[in-house]
Amino acid sequence: MKPTLLVLAAGMGSRYGGLKQMDGLGPNGETIIDYSIYDAVHAGFGKVVYIVREYFRQQFEDTVKAKYSGVKCVDGEPLEFRFVVQELDKIPSRFTLNPERQKPWGTAHAVLMAKDVIHEPFAVINGDDFYGRESFEVLAGWCRAHENTSGSYCIVGFGLDHTLSESGGVSRGICHYDADGTLTTIEEHLNIAKEADGKVYGDNSVSGLSHIELDSKALCSMNMWGFTPDYFSFSEKIFEDFMDKNINEPKKEFYIPYAIDCMIHSGQAVCEVLSSPSHWFGVTYKEDRPAVVAKIASLVEKGVYPSPLYK
């Protein structure tokens, strides 16, 4: 069984100032997604599903097909691709869209868009985050081990201090888990940054408390998940309940941690917290770009990646 990789690439990159998904950061114009696909293929993934917006779908699809046309899976078969559109009007028919709504409904809504094209264990990642080869190996192994299971999911967590930006505060979900490594909840914090005293502070979005000192070594969510296909049916029902409460809210979003939290507390699913030796990095702000370019160049110089990545 070859698991599927679902790439969340529909974000508009408002803080970054453009489409991060298509920004060339590698020595030969490679994007962060290019490196994720490279790592995923070598870890044993066999299909990639992209969640995109309609307004850039054709450009994105043409670019992907041209770039990856010769890529083979570990078993020698061609890598398979699917492209799925997320738009704000893709909601259950019984709901009427609020005309004030301008953006789609968040990451869990984006994942739901792929329910008709994924029928095997799958991983979810952000298109603008660099997770590292070992992270994909961890996730691919988990997917293969859960081919015939249901209601058992996982999240790959990263040390909080390795996910911060020097260009501004970031939002992160801190993972809380029991002695068995089972996720109990994800606690969202905003405006997280390391300050002059070397400590990390953030604002708790649930309690409303601000400038709280956080454990810099705590594992946090960077939207790297592993799911079995039953996730779709569970999530679909939760989304309808969410819409019943929020259909007229122009800015409310349906996030993956919220869906998972509902499943955990209803007893529908358990979620294992995994860790990776890889260091995450990404481009939250435009000012982050030079550091990311330098990190990728360093990995290429060390021989971790070939250059060019695809020929």
- Kindly report, residue by residue over 156-207, the tens digit of the pLDDT: 999 998 888 888 888 899 999 999 999 999 988 999 999 989 899 999 877 7
Report pLDDT for 20: 53
CA 113, 118, 122, 128 torsion-angle sign = negative
Task: Give 10's pLDDT tier (boundaries 50, 70, 90).
Answer: confident
Question: What CA–CA distance (Å, rounded) separates 157 from 212?
Answer: 21
Report pLDDT for 14: 39
* Residue 245: both structure tokens together: 């409460």
Question: What CA–CA distance (Å, rounded) separates 283 from 165?
Answer: 8
The per-residue pLDDT for range 230-272, each reduced to its tens digit, is 999 999 999 999 989 998 888 888 999 999 999 999 999 999 9
Task: Give 21's pLDDT tier (boundaries 50, 70, 90).
Answer: low
The per-residue pLDDT for range 67-89, each reduced to its tens digit, is 888 889 899 999 999 999 998 78
Question: What is the chain's mean pLDDT, rounded?
Answer: 89
* Residue 29: both structure tokens together: 């114009």
Task: Give 209's pLDDT tier (boundaries 50, 70, 90).
Answer: confident
Report the pLDDT averaged over residues 214-235. Answer: 94
3-state secondary structure of 264: helix
DSSP classification of residue 216: T
If one compares 43 and 105, the residue with the highest pLDDT of the two is: 43
| Burial status of residue 279 (CB atoms within 10 A of its CB: 0-12, 13-18, 19 or more) | middle
The string over 25-55, giving b where at least 16 C-beta atoms fall within 10 Å of a residue's C-beta and e elsewhere, is bbeeebbbbbbbbbbbbebbbbbbbbbbbee
Contact 200, 194 (CB under 8 A): yes
The separation between the first and the last C-alpha atoms of the chain, rounded to the nearest angstrom, is: 27
Report pLDDT for 305: 95
Report pLDDT for 89: 81
Locate all alpha helices (DSSP H) within the chain, ordered by sequence. Answer: 32-43, 54-68, 107-112, 133-145, 231-246, 256-266, 289-301
3-state secondary structure of 156: strand
What is the pTM for the complete model shown?
A: 0.91
Contact 13, 5 (CB under 8 A): no
Residue that is written with structure tokens 């435009």 in the block: 286
Structural domains present in the chain: 4-301 (3.90.550.10)
